[in-house]
Structure 1
Amino acid sequence: MASIFFSPSLSSASPLSTPSFQPRSHLHLQPRSCRFGVRCSYVDAGVRDDYAPNTIDVVADVKSEKVVVLGGSGFVGSAICKAAISKGIEVVSVSRSGRPSNTSSWVDQVTWVPGDVFYLNWDDVLVGATAVVSTIGGFGSEEQMKRINGDANIAAVNAAYDFGIPKFVLISVHDYNLPSFLLSSSYFTGKRQAESEVLSKFPRSGVVLRPAFIYGKRRVDGFEIPLDLVGEPVEKFLSVFGNFIKPLSSVPASDIFLAPPVSVDDLALATINAITDDDVFGVFTIEQIKEAAAKVRA
């Protein structure tokens, strides 16, 4: 006689116990990790013991990741998509432009969905997802920046929360020591409002990454802008002489020059670390982003 049991790997209840559930509108019904067991008894089937052992137990741990990247066709978003694909993570990108013009092989492995977060059919996009990453952000008028950096991200956070997605990662911005009249811009206030929403709705799994200047090879209208020609030398300079010029950090707005740039590849790897490590949550500074990237790269 054969019996099959299926139970969440984190549950300590016996196979015969009856689990209880708290009804919540954002209950996640698709566990990220499960255990599947098969037990066969040859004695009950009338098979002689000298032909086979009495019992065979087969237990396997299965864990899969599926990430939805908002703004996945952009500079940072595409780097995250590429890094996720390289780690065997299933990727769905949502952006107004849809599929990028990039002809690299990894592009064909991403599901590209054209859409606006304010009018998106979230049920179709989020099904099966284990994490949502938002790279949404931009400049413009005060009203535009509030809508892009704040409202759009907040809408995405709430959609993920209501659907029951386990983790949300927000690409935000460094906490610059700028004058208050600059920090009151809707670019910064919008980002901070989005951060608060992430940390409120995902207190034990939400991740906020705060990079400063992000460098790498950025494509704009078919042209490649080599931001690494500026960012990489500055990052190396600050890593060598940072301790000598640290006293200047007390000077207002000095962060514009003294905050170390972050490689777009490091930011992408830090995002992968946030997606795959269930113990990672909270706000990550520039140095913490680089440390997280090193863990994935190792």
Structure 2
Amino acid sequence: MASFSFLPAISASSTALTRVVFPARPTLQLKRRFAVRSSYAEAGTRDDYSSAPIDVVADVKNERVVVLGGSGFVGSAICKAAVSKGIEVISLSRSGRPTYPSSWVDQVTWVSGDVFYVNWDEVLVGATAVVSTLGGFGSDEQMKRINGEGNVVAVNAAKEYGIPKFILISVHDYNLPPFLLSSGYFTGKRKAESEVLSKYPNSGVVLRPAFIYGKRRVDGFEIPLDLVGEPAERILRALENFTKPLNSLPASDLLLAPPVSVDDVALAVINAIKDDDEFGIFTIDQIKEAAQKVRA
């Protein structure tokens, strides 16, 4: 039902971590000294050559993004989009590096680890943003731990390390009645959202897509979810003026909420990374708009 059944779940078991050490460099200051020589050859004026050093300080922002769950369906799309935009990417997930060959895969630093046990020194130092795709299904307790507690741990770690931006992939509420929203899946997601918006009131971003479609790899096979999701999105958007009166009905969005392309989610993340004025909760339509800004 929700869009994150494809996202990597984080277990409570400890996982070996590949040691990766990065120099801290979220911002480089380049200082250059150079001389300026002036020459005057006007009538009655003696040529005068002089030089004086001028200090120029340039701030260059080097984007380094940590993607939690970067080897999963949504996470890998985010990593790929970030690499295509020249952003340095570190992925943290239990499975580590994907097994399929691709040129963008070689440009990501893959770290195998568990968000509950990782040594954050080896992941967060020097990062300018953290993107979390953590989520999954299971028992109520498992979903609260994966969707909620795992993300809360990550948000607090990012805040402690001074990371300026945190982006969370959450989920649309589908107009569900309160008793259904009290399930572990949604309560975990909303707990994570609350932590992001509390710790990052002016820079935290929460994306709430509905069903996410695209080409998903599972055990070496590619599942073309776009064959269903893309036509459904087009049809629902074409009919939205007629279906709006139904939007107030409980659970209506289970049928009426347009699916979201995994590429749109990834580009909306890129937009949030690059635009410091972007923060808060993004609805399905706002995710689409944010993606269009990057495509433009």
TM-score band, normalised by shorter chain: 0.7 to 0.9
Does the CA contact (< 8 Å) of 2:70 and 2:78 recur in 1? yes
Instruction: Look up the match of 1:282.
Output: 280
DSSP-derived class of the 2:247 partner:
helix
CA–CA distance in structure 1, aligned partners of residues 36 and 66 of structure 2: 46
Instruction: Look up the match of 1:295.
Output: 293
Gaps of 5+ in 1: 1-28, 44-48
| Pair 1:189-2:183 in alignment | no
Instruction: Look up the match of 1:91.
Output: 89
| Pair 1:39-2:33 in alignment | yes
Does the CA contact (< 8 Å) of 2:97 and 2:110 recur in 1? yes
CA–CA distance in structure 2, aligned partners of residues 227 and 39 of structure 1: 56
Does the CA contact (< 8 Å) of 2:210 and 2:257 recur in 1? yes
Q: List per-residue Cα deviations over 1:242-286 (Å, max 9, x = no partner).
A: 101111112211101111110000000000111111111100000
CA–CA distance in structure 2, aligned partners of residues 101 and 34 of structure 1: 34
Instruction: Look up the match of 1:63.
Output: 61
Give how far 1:174 is off: 0.5
Instruction: Look up the match of 1:158.
Output: 156
Letter in 2 for 1:148: I
Q: List per-residue Cα deviations over 1:171-192 (Å, max 9, x = no partner).
A: 0001221122211100000000
CA–CA distance in structure 2, aligned partners of residues 134 and 269 of structure 1: 15
CA–CA distance in structure 1, aligned partners of residues 117 and 89 of structure 2: 21
Superposed, 1:22-33 pairs within 5 Å as: 32-33=26-27
* TM-score, length basis structure 2: 0.85
CA–CA distance in structure 2, aligned partners of residues 284 and 42 of structure 1: 50
Give how far 1:230 is off: 0.9
Give how far 1:31 is off: 7.2
Distance 1:32 1:176, change over 3 A: same
Q: List per-residue Cα deviations over 1:43-98 (Å, max 9, x = no partner).
A: 9xxxxx86665455545341210000000000000000000000000000000000
Instruction: Look up the match of 1:257.
Output: 255
Using CA pairs under 8 Å that are at least 6 residues apart, name the structure with larger relative contact order, 1 or 2: 2
Over 2 Å off, 4+ runs:
29-43, 49-61
CA–CA distance in structure 2, aligned partners of residues 175 and 289 of structure 1: 15
How many matched pairs?
265
* TM-score, length basis structure 1: 0.84
Does the CA contact (< 8 Å) of 2:26 and 2:64 recur in 1? no
Give how far 1:163 is off: 0.8
CA–CA distance in structure 2, aligned partners of residues 33 and 125 of structure 1: 17
DSSP-derived class of the 1:94 partner:
strand
Distance 1:52 1:296, change over 3 A: farther
Letter in 2 for 1:38: R
Letter in 1 for 2:231: P
Gaps of 5+ in 2: 1-22, 38-46
Instruction: Look up the match of 2:173.
Output: 175
| Pair 1:240-2:234 in alignment | no
CA–CA distance in structure 2, aligned partners of residues 184 and 148 of structure 1: 16
CA–CA distance in structure 2, aligned partners of residues 127 and 32 of structure 1: 9
CA–CA distance in structure 2, aligned partners of residues 37 and 62 of structure 1: 11
DSSP-derived class of the 2:273 partner:
helix
DSSP-derived class of the 1:147 partner:
helix
Distance 1:178 1:37, change over 3 A: same
CA–CA distance in structure 1, aligned partners of residues 248 and 56 of structure 2: 61
DSSP-derived class of the 1:105 partner:
coil
Give how far 1:241 is off: 1.1
Letter in 2 for 1:92: I
DSSP-derived class of the 1:170 partner:
strand
Instruction: Look up the match of 2:125.
Output: 127
Instruction: Look up the match of 2:7.
Output: none
Mean Cα deviation higher: 126-135 or 235-244:
235-244
Letter in 1 for 2:201: P
CA–CA distance in structure 1, aligned partners of residues 60 and 227 of structure 2: 43
**What's the Cα RMSD here?**
2.0
